[in-house]
Amino acid sequence: MAEQHTPRSLIVSLYGAYGRPSEETPMPVAALIRLLAAVGVDAPSVRSSVSRLKRRGLLLARRTPDGAAGYALSDDARRLLEDGDRRIYARTEPSLSDGWVLAVFSVPEQERHKRHLLRSRLGRLGFGTAAPGVWIAPARLYEETRHALERLDLSSYVDFFRGEHLGYAATAEAVARWWDLPAIARLHEEFLAGHEPVLAAWRAAPGTVADAYRDYLLTLDSWRRLPYADPVLPAELLPADWPGRRSAEVFAELHALLWERGAEYVRAVEKDL
């Protein structure tokens, strides 16, 4: 299945990669339009998506130092991106000794829509389901989860616990119940199918800074969903042929090859306005 890069997702990826030089420096609208055009997004789609991100409180209308219209990240957006950085660029090998965090929630029947929102958000943060109303994740995800639920005004419904798994089933067997590992493996395989050829091409013949920017933004936009779908479990709990480590290596190498050259292109576009 072909990857879907939506305008809104690409804008978030662009700000995450290149749009955080300082709180006082907005990205000019004209630069946004040119930079998104390089990955196939037309100007009306950029403006429409920016408007939606503005309504969500993630982008703030600001003037650049020379008076041009632009958009800066809100404090909430910066926190979201900073939380995301810890996942997207993480290279630390997880260990069983790190333990687990449990999220146990109870929502009154008259607010059952929040029950669905809680389940959806915990799933998107990488939690698995240990039992009805009991969600589990590696302990390192606690701080980010706490921030996310506070932003959504859901923290009053949830209690968190840290601990270790003591059985009765082996932890590897339990993990296979808590998460849909085959579905997560397919996401890694799709990423590899789309981006291993990009890495091979750059190893063989480096391209221009414009090529680096385009390939990096599309790679990041594909990759940044994976560390949320995949909680990144210790290797001893995963199948022997698990593709997650290889996809992380491919992303890390593409980041090392392309990010700085892509930044040169972004600076050139902003300077040329």
Tell me: pLDDT of 187 over 80: yes
User: Residue 1: is its pLDDT beyond 50?
Assistant: no
Q: Is the pLDDT of residue 126 over 60?
A: yes
Comparing 57-61, 116-120, 202-206, the range with the smallest average pLDDT is 116-120
Q: Residue 12 has what pLDDT?
A: 92
- At residue 21, the pLDDT reads 63
Residue 3's pLDDT is 55
Distance of CA 53 to the CA centre of its chain: 16
Looking at every residue in the chain, the average pLDDT score rounds to: 88
Scan for tokens 């991106």, then name that residue. 81
Give the torsion sign (CA, 26, 32, 34, 36). positive
Q: What does the alpha-carbon distance between residue 34 and residue 38 come to, in Å, rounded to a whole number?
A: 7
- Whether residue 226 contacts residue 88, with contact meaning beta carbons closer than 8 Å, is answered with no
| pLDDT for residue 147 is more than 90 | no
**Range of weakest confidence among 24-38, 146-160, 221-235, 245-259:** 146-160
pLDDT band at 55 (very low <50, low <70, confident <90, very high): very high
Compute the average pLDDT of residues 25-29: 86
- Predicted pLDDT of residue 2: 43
CA pseudo-torsion sign 30, 35, 38, 44: negative
pLDDT average, residue stretch 79-107 = 84
Give the pLDDT band of residue 222 (cuts 50, 70, 90). very high
> In this model, does residue 200 exceed pLDDT 90?
yes
